[in-house]
Structures are given as C-alpha cells and as structure tokens.
Structure 1
Amino acid sequence: MAVPQPDRDLAAWMTAYGPGLRRYFRRRADDADVDDLVQEVFLRLQSAQLSTPIDNVERYLFAAARNALISRYRRQKARASLLHDEFEDVIEISEQRSPERIVIGQQEYRRVLEAIQNLPPRAREAFQYHRFENLTYQAIAQRMGISREAVKELMHRALVRIVEEMEPEL
C-alpha cells in the first residue's frame, strides 16, 4: 500500500490508519472512548510542528496513540482523586445529621413534590420525562407530539415555577 507522505495528508492517513488505531484502542480503552482517542491522535498530528517529514507514519501514529492513552489515564486518575476528596467531604457533612435536619429535609422533599404536582399538566409531564425518566428533549418532543423548542419552553416554565414555589417566603 502506498502511504501518502508529502505535507502530511491527514485525510488519507485517517483512511489508511484509522481502522488500525480503532482496533488498538478497543483492546485498551472503553468502547465509548475509542473514537475520541482516534480523533485525539489525528489532532496531535495536525497540530504538531514537525521540521522534518515523518519516516514511518504508522510507528509515529501508534506512538501518539500510546501517549494519548497515557494522557487519558493520567487525567482520569487525577479526576478520580478529586472526586475521592469531594466524596470524603460529603461523608463528613452527612454524618452531622440531627433529628431536626432530618425533619427539615423531609419537609423540603414534600414541598418539592407538591411544587411538581402543582405544575400545569403538560409542563409536569415534560418535567417528569426529563428528570425522572432521563429522556432528552428530542425524545420528549416525539413522545408528546410537540417540537423540541416547545419542550424546552415547557421545561423552562416548570423550573421557574418550582423555584418560585420553593423560595422561602419573605
């Protein structure tokens, strides 16, 4: 196979080496991350300021792929340690539960449920689909037979009404 080299023909390299990079990443990363990692390799190649042509494109790309995996692993490890620290803070706060705080929490919970029940029917339906069934606006629009923009407006109205009902009375 003739490998394009002059001026780093990125599109041709993506066609030639993309499938191999995908196989490489599938064995080493989550399936959800494969396309992002392949894209990261080609972005690195595109942004690289090389003064000399690449002698072995395949070796260069797979070295960049290895480096992309290492970078991703380091970022995930850093995020995990941050989440761990935050989780410990949450545990400390939750240990400070008192009977009074529990009663207040239960009252707030009832107020939220009441605020949701007081929404107009269509806004309540859209809100419940989105918040309780985790549907996207597009999926809600299809289910309700309305446009995505209409769902967006219903959600906005629902959130404003809930916030208004939940605000402490002055």
Structure 2
Amino acid sequence: MLGLEGPYLTMPASRPDSDIEAWVSAYGPGLRRYFRRRASEADVDDLVQDVFLRLQAAKFSAPIDNVEGYLFATARNVLIDAYRQRARSNAAAREKWAAEAPTSDPLSPERIAIGQDEYRRVVEAIVNLPPRAREAFELHRFEHLTYQAIAQRMGITKESVKELMHRALVRIAEDMEVGQ
C-alpha cells in the first residue's frame, strides 16, 4: 500500500465491480482529495479523469486484489506524467522565446554616446543634490549602508534618512526628465 489511507479515501465495504462508473463514484472523491494536495485546483478533474481513462484502457488478466493501491499508484503515475509534460512545455516555451527574443543592438557609436550622456546627467543630478540628501544617497547607494547605519553616521533618525532618500530620488528623477 502507498500509505494513502486515512483522509484520502473511504473504501466501500466491498470492492466495486469492473464497471468504471462504480469505480468513479466509489474512488473519485478520494482521488480528488489526493490531487488537491498535489496539484492546482484547475487540474484536479483532468487528473482524476486521466486515472479512470488509464483504468478503462487497461486489460486485466486477473482481478485486482488491492483496488485502492492500484488506483493511487496510477494516480501517482498520472501526476508524474503531468509534471513531466509541464516541464517539457515550459522548456519548449523558453526555447521558443529565446529563439524569437530580439537580440540587442550591437554597441553603435550612437548608443555609446547616448549612454555616456545619460551617465553624465545622472552624475550631475547627484552632484546637484542638497549636501545632506547627497550624503545620505551616496552612503546608501554607493557604500551600501542601511538606513539605520546612515542615521547613526549622520547623527539623525532613521525617519530623517528615509525623507532625505525620498527627496534625493525625486530630485534625481525630475532632473533626468528635464534633460530628455
């Protein structure tokens, strides 16, 4: 047995016959509970259907002694197949995206000039910040200090550092928009 007794399945007193409808009504709710714990809600009914399709397609040469064990082993295999199919689908989508993704333009003299101009404008915007806002900004962005560490170094509160950073970022954004 797969250790699936308990809340997953309530076995009827006697094994249902080979009629699929009887198996669906007897074991369908247990399989749904099993799949709900392992797959998305949207996939549960499809997975249960796959289990019963496999059961219907199977040719039994002898009666099944442990119906519950057989069904849940089949359910496990259906779930593994679904995971594998999803992985293949995701890999194919990634490959398709990579093949169709636009390649970046090679560095042209024009792109280099635009980049240098934007860099110059950002540096100029930082330099033109008020002294305390510039100090807080530089400590945070270039020295990677936390707001608390900046507050201790500058002798101010953490809230004051937040306000200085906010002002600095707004001012830099405004300067960058004006320069466009």
3-state SS in 1 of match to 2:64:
coil
Aligned residues: 95
What residue number does 1:146 align with?
A: none
* 2:5 is aligned with 1:16: no
TM-score, structure 1 normalization: 0.52
Q: 1: CA distance between counterparts of 2:85 and 2:20?
A: 27
Q: 1: CA distance between counterparts of 2:90 and 2:61?
A: 38
What residue number does 2:13 align with?
A: 2
Q: 2: CA distance between counterparts of 1:85 and 1:49?
A: 39
What residue number does 1:34 align with?
A: 44
% identical equivalent positions: 54
Q: 2: CA distance between counterparts of 1:71 and 1:94?
A: 35
Relative to total residues, which structure has the larger helix share, 1 or 2? 1
* 2:96 is aligned with 1:86: yes
What residue number does 2:60 align with?
A: 50
Q: 1: CA distance between counterparts of 2:95 and 2:88?
A: 11
Shift of 1:58: 0.7
Contact 1:26 1:34 in 2 (8 A): yes
| Structure with larger Rg | 2
The amino acid of 2:62's aligned partner reads T
Contact 1:5 1:53 in 2 (8 A): no
Shift of 1:49: 1.1
- What runs of 5+ residues in structure 2 fail to find an aligned partner? 1-11, 107-180
Q: 2: CA distance between counterparts of 1:12 and 1:3?
A: 11
Q: CA RMSD in A?
A: 1.7
3-state SS in 2 of match to 1:95:
coil
Shift of 1:44: 0.3
3-state SS in 1 of match to 2:94:
helix
What residue number does 1:95 align with?
A: 104
Contact 2:32 2:48 in 1 (8 A): yes
* Distance change (3 Å), C-alpha of 1:57 and 1:63: same
Question: Deviation digits for residues 12-41 of structure 1, max 9, x if unmatched?
Answer: 111111000000000000000000000000
What residue number does 2:72 align with?
A: 62
